[in-house]
Amino acid sequence: MKPLKTGATFALTVMLFYALCAMVWYAFPEPFMRFMMALFHGIDFHALQSGKATLGGTVYADVVLGVWAFFAATFFAWLSAKLPPAM
């Protein structure tokens, strides 16, 4: 694995999936909340719906997740190359 390529690929993947998730939530808020509750074993996420979501806030969160994903995957690929081969 090439660390920078792995980091960039994972960052773009995370950003794309976050954007898709945000679009589905915007288009279908109640079914999406039911899905999230089922996915997370019944945790009620309705308290997080403040009605104050903005496009700017969504883009900001997407960029932050992308930066985090880039560094996490870059480190993962670098560390993977440094560890001895699997048994």
**Mean pLDDT, residues 47-56 taken together:** 80
Q: Where are the domains of the chain?
A: 3-81
Q: What is the largest CA-CA distance in the chain?
A: 52
Would you say residue 51 has pLDDT above 80? no
**Chain segment 1-43, per-residue pLDDT in tens:** 899 999 999 999 999 999 999 999 989 988 998 999 999 998 9
7 and 71 Cβ atoms separated by less than 8 Å: yes
> CB under 8 Å to 75, separation ≥6 — which residues?
3
**Chain segment 52-74, per-residue pLDDT in tens:** 778 899 999 999 999 999 999 99
The CA distance from 87 to 54, in Å, is 49
The pLDDT value given to residue 87: 54
66 and 14 Cβ atoms separated by less than 8 Å: yes
The CA distance from 66 to 48, in Å, is 22
